[in-house]
Structure 1
Amino acid sequence: MNKPYDYYEHPLLSSFSELLSLNYKKNPDKIAFTYKIDKEVINKSYKDFYKDVTYLTNYLTNEYNNERIAIISENSYNYIVLFFSIIISNNIAVLIDKDLDEESIKKLLKQSDTKVLYYSKNHCDLERIIKKYKSYEIDNVLDIPKLNKKETKKKCKESVLFFTSGTTGANKCVMLSEENILSDIYGACSIFKPNGDVFACLPFHHAFGLITSILKPFFYNETIFINNSLKTILTDLKISKPNTMFVVPTFIETFYKQIWKNAKKNKKTHLLKSMIKTSKMLLKIGIDLRKQLFKSIHNSFGGNIEYIICGGAYLDPKYIIFFRSIGINILNGYGITECSPVVAVNRNHYYRDGSVGQIVKGAEIKIKENEILVKGKMVMLGFYKDKKATDEVLKDGYFHTGDFGYIDKDGFLFITGRKKNLIILSNGENISPEVIEEELSHDEAVSEIIVYENNNKLLAEIYPREEYLGNKSYFDDLIYKYNSKVPKNHQIALVTLRNNEFPKNNNKKILRNKFMEEKYGKGNN
């Protein structure tokens, strides 16, 4: 199809309580969540979930009001029950990455004024921390007395505190309200609709992992499989047989490498290439045999996979084209925690390679001096206790994303770089390193790349794919060919190779500032 069509229609909800009740009334016996404990598969219906949230909400209402309650845990059913209950009981959920070190966790707890803490017993690093708070194991969150709901005082504006994990290393505490989140659910669900069961594998302390891969499918009354470990993803995919999954680019790249690795191992590389070519030819005349031709690949995803929604960082369009050729649609999107988080996403039947999709319903986008500005009810309340930082990004009703981009004539948004990464040469020339990185990343030998400036010259550092490690002459030739096609100010003066990946944050984004510290020391980047 790949042509414009109407928004998907559905109601705009006003509260999490309404979201909970809506699905309970719509289809109480349908399975809402599936997960594993050891090797046993557990199913929880929308009725089960409604009861669990109601009991815990009543308990929290009797115990706390407008309290900041932190969750530090791996993905779990109890995590979602607790999240809903904190919000419905007029408290504030503070979501913290379980993999942070002790000092970082202590800092975030203090920054957010947290008083109550639910934690996973699987993380012994927390032992010294939990003694300083009202602390409870999340595994026992449903082992509570059944209480009647108590009337609560007026609710705080914010409902959730997310910590950004950008590429600067500095964490900001983003305040989102129920209205923010529900507006974004409404807007994003008007653009994209899952067509069956959903696989949730991204960490819930990220807005993308929780709001996009849990709350939005929940709104659509789908069944959601909760994966709690990267080690069990392939096993869990085969058990859950999802239609849709939500990932960051690292997952796509890993899946891609594994497919070709398996083909090489089984001496079927030529056959796979031939089948892809045949599949594309058949599609041109309206014959779609992709699911049959690539059955073994589909089976590794459970056999029913149709959509993979990808966001969080740049994704090379070559992956989108490859997976489409074997019958799996990767729909790239763009989001930012401060916008709850989805701003744009490619649609089920209307997409454009290289873009991050159509603007979600309810969001107003403006491009000012190449920067993407966002206005709408999904835009955050602000940064917690940081008016200065808030005022820097919220101006005239618009959130200044810090991302450069443009919108084409058909309304597709394209990202071209980050404002803070902009290189300004002595002649006044402004260069987005991401544009050069994208161009060079198309080469099969490049795994990761950073383009940076030193002494008014553009330099590149590359982490090669395994079979090209140490092959300096190949990359010298690559840069020579690139330089011959571009203006002098965009040419790379020197390329260096590295033997290990670039430093990344927990969302697998490359930390440019850490890289520059590696090269030149702290304070010299």
Structure 2
Amino acid sequence: MRNLTELAERGADRYGTRPAFRELGPDRAVHEYSYRSLHDDVVAAGTALLDQGLAGGHVAMVGEASYAYVVCYLAVVCTGGVIVPLDKELTDAELADLIVRCDADAVLYGDELHADIAGILAHCPRVRLTVNISRYAPESHRPGFDALLARGRQLLAAGDTRFAEVSIDPDAPAAILFTSGTTGPSKGVMLSQRNIVTVIHSAFSLFRFPRVCLSVLPINHAYEFNLNVLGCLFDGITLCFNDSIMHVRENLGRFRPEMSLMVPMIVEALYKNIWKEAEKNHMTGYLKYAVALSNGLRTIGIDLRRVFFRPILEHFGGRLRVIVCGGAPLGPDVVAGLTSFGITVYNGYGITECAPLISSNCTVRSVPGSVGVPVPDLEVRIGEPDADGTGEIQVRGPAVMLGYYRDPVATNQAFTEDGWFRTGDLGHLGKRGALFITGRQKNLIILPNGKNVQPEEIEEALLGGIAYLREVVVHELVDQTGAPRIAASAYLDPDWVGGVGFEGARARFEADVAAVNQRLAAYKRVCLTNLREQEFEKTSTRKIMRHRVEGALA
């Protein structure tokens, strides 16, 4: 497979009537679309877009994960265009800014933007075509996706062959993905079809994908679209779309997937809910005993997890066996805990600029505490390692981006003089070749004594040692004397705070931080604390936007 046009053709030829996607309609009924239907609809939509003069054009798209979204994405890239997936959680002003920055000629949008689209486009004079791609939009909000398909089919029936005549340059820009902006302003990452196809092949060298997967992450992200959506299409897998982050557990039961790609916050919430329910039903002691017994039996080759923990596994649909977790490191206690129940969790690592996969634990090889071995076709090295072997993670290979759109300065800064991409992440390589992430270069705290402190290490210690701590950001803060200190801004379990009162919570938290400090080197200890009444602001993949954490204590 050399490009995404071949991906769509391959699916139709190999898998035909097999379900490619399942999604929920407004009535909560399940709608199913085959591989053959997908291919035919991509050709029809692509033909209609070509008829609008969009060959090679830039097309911004914003909306919910859906079959129509996938069709339109493929229709754009299979006609030589550049797709620009945007985050549906952005404000109107932010969307308008990115639509202008990416030079969009067209905007495809979900019905949730219907009331706002005119105001957004008032600031985007270049845009000449808009299409509401929600299949279930009210009649008054159409024509939309169905009209696009109907026009394409009409042209094809009349002998239009423009779609089939498109020649794809695998090294030309095919997608512009704006980074989430967790550490600063977002940048437009340009990926080619070669970048994307390389990652699809890499994923299938690591995992044995099952027959049914669940999509729960924002579809505009490379992690979700390139690995989950396109990865499933590559191997004839049925992908089921979750319609809301609030419905993950419900849809696990409805679609009964065997595998899902998630981020730590979702996995942790599902895991913690198991123990909350056990406590509610006065079953905590029994569950701990069952886990200990099951783990003991596994050491002598007897695996009864799916028998012992069937009621728990039913909360995940009963069939879920694998979770691939990316976006941030997942705590080893959660990995071990879910493994004890019969669900294997593979920690992976990637970055949008690498389309996005860099490394992952996998079916063949898994190293606890690591994010796995680098994928095939990608080289990883540690730049300027310190005495412990820790330095910046740098990568090279065919999955690495073309550059940042209209930003040659940032592009130049992103690469070393000898051509390696600088991830900005800190880590080291273990003896078995596995990669260990230790922090983010931009987050590094440099103390007056020259000591370097990685805040992620302290955050992990705090989260692991304080049960009621929900979120924490460790950062540098200047105290009243003007001296830089290590500070921890924290959000605690609101139910727990309600039980002990805010001042009681503050006193207990400070005492528990002091206890955790005793396990840390003196220069890594938290000196100042701040309790927040609300969660931290996050991206759509639930990453904390660290650069927006307040610089002063409340």
SS in 2 for 1:42: strand
> Is the contact between residue 62 and residue 149 of structure 1 (CA under 8 Å) also seen in structure 2?
no
Structure 2 residue corresponding to 1:478, chosen from 512, 526, 532: 512
Task: Letter of the 1:163 partner, please give it.
Answer: F
CA distance in 2: counterparts of 1:233 and 1:432, whole angstroms: 33
1:247 partnered with 2:251: no
1:138 partnered with 2:129: no
* Per-residue deviation, residues 340-396 of structure 1 (Å, max 9, x unmatched): 001111102421222111211110001012000010100000000000000000232
Task: Letter of the 1:478 partner, please give it.
Answer: D
The residue that corresponds to 2:191 in the other structure is 176
Structure 2 residue corresponding to 1:122, chosen from 112, 117, 136: 112
The alpha carbon displacement at 1:335 in A equals 0.8
The alpha carbon displacement at 1:177 in A equals 0.5
1:208 partnered with 2:236: no
| CA separation of 1:62 and 1:125: change in aligned 2, threshold 3 A | closer
1:503 partnered with 2:537: yes
Higher mean displacement: 481-490 or 380-389: 481-490
CA distance in 2: counterparts of 1:292 and 1:127, whole angstroms: 56
The residue that corresponds to 1:447 in the other structure is 470
The residue that corresponds to 1:6 in the other structure is none
1:47 partnered with 2:40: no
Structure 2 residue corresponding to 1:407, chosen from 406, 424, 429: 429
CA distance in 2: counterparts of 1:344 and 1:154, whole angstroms: 28
Task: Letter of the 2:48 partner, please give it.
Answer: Y
The alpha carbon displacement at 1:200 in A equals 0.7
| CA separation of 1:21 and 1:492: change in aligned 2, threshold 3 A | same
SS in 2 for 1:53: helix
1:376 partnered with 2:404: no
> Is the contact between residue 206 and residue 364 of structure 2 (CA under 8 Å) also seen in structure 1?
no
Higher mean displacement: 224-233 or 240-249: 224-233
The alpha carbon displacement at 1:126 in A equals 2.2
> Is the contact between residue 460 and residue 492 of structure 1 (CA under 8 Å) also seen in structure 2?
yes
Task: Letter of the 2:130 partner, please give it.
Answer: S
Higher mean displacement: 196-205 or 460-469: 460-469
The residue that corresponds to 2:174 in the other structure is 159
SS in 2 for 1:97: coil
Measured on the aligned residues, the alpha-carbon RMSD in Å equals 1.8
% same residue:
34
* Per-residue deviation, residues 438-470 of structure 1 (Å, max 9, x unmatched): 122212232212222232322222222345434
* Per-residue deviation, residues 394-452 of structure 1 (Å, max 9, x unmatched): 23221100000011111111110000011111111111111111122212232212222
The residue that corresponds to 1:18 in the other structure is 6
> Is the contact between residue 536 and residue 545 of structure 2 (CA under 8 Å) also seen in structure 1?
yes
CA distance in 2: counterparts of 1:389 and 1:95, whole angstroms: 21
The alpha carbon displacement at 1:285 in A equals 1.5
> Is the contact between residue 320 and residue 353 of structure 1 (CA under 8 Å) also seen in structure 2?
no
The alpha carbon displacement at 1:272 in A equals 1.5
SS in 1 for 2:111: coil
SS in 1 for 2:55: coil
Gaps of 5+ in 2: 135-143, 385-390
SS in 2 for 1:264: helix
The alpha carbon displacement at 1:505 in A equals 2.0
* Per-residue deviation, residues 222-278 of structure 1 (Å, max 9, x unmatched): 111112322332222212110100111110121022212211222222221121111
1:367 partnered with 2:382: yes
SS in 2 for 1:253: helix
CA distance in 1: counterparts of 2:335 and 2:518, whole angstroms: 28
Q: 1:282-431 alignment to 2 at 5 Å?
A: 282-369=297-384, 370-395=391-416, 396-431=418-453
The residue that corresponds to 1:100 in the other structure is 90
The residue that corresponds to 2:213 in the other structure is 198
- Under a length normalisation based on structure 1, what TM-score does the superposition of the two structures give? 0.93
| CA separation of 1:190 and 1:153: change in aligned 2, threshold 3 A | closer
* Per-residue deviation, residues 81-105 of structure 1 (Å, max 9, x unmatched): 0111100011111111112111000
* Per-residue deviation, residues 200-239 of structure 1 (Å, max 9, x unmatched): 1111111112111111121121111112322332222212
1:149 partnered with 2:161: yes
CA distance in 1: counterparts of 2:535 and 2:486, whole angstroms: 21
> Is the contact between residue 486 and residue 528 of structure 2 (CA under 8 Å) also seen in structure 1?
yes
CA distance in 2: counterparts of 1:180 and 1:69, whole angstroms: 19
| CA separation of 1:24 and 1:103: change in aligned 2, threshold 3 A | same
The residue that corresponds to 2:455 in the other structure is 433
1:494 partnered with 2:528: yes
Gaps of 5+ in 1: 1-12, 521-525
CA distance in 2: counterparts of 1:488 and 1:29, whole angstroms: 63
The residue that corresponds to 2:68 in the other structure is 78
The residue that corresponds to 1:225 in the other structure is 240
CA distance in 1: counterparts of 2:475 and 2:63, whole angstroms: 37
CA distance in 2: counterparts of 1:518 and 1:248, whole angstroms: 29
The residue that corresponds to 1:32 in the other structure is 20
What is the total number of aligned residue pairs between the two structures? Answer: 508
Task: Letter of the 1:463 partner, please give it.
Answer: Y
- Under a length normalisation based on structure 2, what TM-score does the superposition of the two structures give? 0.88
Q: Which has the higher contact order (CA 8 A, sep 6+)?
A: 1
* Per-residue deviation, residues 34-72 of structure 1 (Å, max 9, x unmatched): 111122211111111111111112222332211001111
Task: Letter of the 1:149 partner, please give it.
Answer: T
> Is the contact between residue 93 and residue 120 of structure 2 (CA under 8 Å) also seen in structure 1?
no
CA distance in 2: counterparts of 1:154 and 1:214, whole angstroms: 21
CA distance in 2: counterparts of 1:506 and 1:421, whole angstroms: 20
CA distance in 2: counterparts of 1:317 and 1:91, whole angstroms: 42
